[in-house]
A and B are shown apart, each in its own frame.
Chain A
Amino acid sequence: AQSVTQPDIHITVSEGASLELRCNYSYGATPYLFWYVQSPGQGLQLLLKYFSGDTLVQGIKGFEAEFKRSQSSFNLRKPSVHWSDAAEYFCAVVLKGAQKLVFGQGTRLTINP
């Protein structure tokens, strides 16, 4: 079955440390891939997206993500987190030619001072 998995429900990192959030998808073909961030009580904001081409994509707020076809993964990274990065992060995919955007379960990020 087609699915999007974020294996980590909750991650805690120290301010200034590096961050990697995992996302795996199970689709027959390479979909369009997205990462969204949701601050408490807010809507969702797009961090970055991958459609094709360079497998390392840069986004807003210093985030980047790398698409790895062989691993069906699209992991989100940031070299040095800030307290303001505390939020929930969602990976989402849509098959090319399809209409439905499917979300992972989300990863809640806590930042220790």
Chain B
Amino acid sequence: NAGVTQTPKFQVLKTGQSMTLQCAQDMNHEYMSWYRQDPGMGLRLIHYSVGAGITDQGEVPNGYNVSRSTTEDFPLRLLSAAPSQTSVYFCASRRGQGYEQYFGPGTRLTVT
């Protein structure tokens, strides 16, 4: 098993550009989520999904879109990047309620 994979590892964007952060898991987990990590703020939930076709907002959803067409994939889209979106982004998955959450290695995004 590869676990949770994320691409790219690093990305630099200019303000206003769009991009998609990819996340995939091969554990057949129903629940997937995206977090951003900023110094001194821990991890904050952006969006999450409890199954294919079902998504919902977390704490900091503005500026991000998600969709979940398959169990395996949960891409995060930045429609118009802003410097405030400079952060490290983590994707995670878990089997369901009360199970361990597995994290990907992260994507470090810089918006100039």
Residues of A in contact, count (CB < 8 Å): 25
Within 8 A of A (CB), among B62-112: 90, 92, 97-98, 100-101, 103-106
Q: CB of B42 within 8 A of chain A?
A: yes
Q: CB-CB < 8 A to B98: which residues of A?
A: 32, 51, 94, 96
Residues of B in contact, count (CB < 8 Å): 23
A101 touches B33 (CB 8 A): yes
Give the interface centre of B31, B44, B58, B97 by most chain A CB atoms within 10 Å: B97
24 contacts between A and B (CB under 8 A): A6-B42, A9-B40, A32-B98, A34-B101, A42-B106, A43-B90, A43-B105, A44-B43, A44-B92, A46-B101, A90-B42, A96-B97, A99-B97, A100-B48, A100-B58, A101-B33, A101-B45, A101-B101, A102-B45, A103-B35, A103-B42, A103-B43, A105-B41, A106-B42
Interface residues of chain B, those whose CB is within 8 Å of chain A, are: 31, 33, 35, 40-45, 48, 50, 56, 58, 90, 92, 97-98, 100-101, 103-106
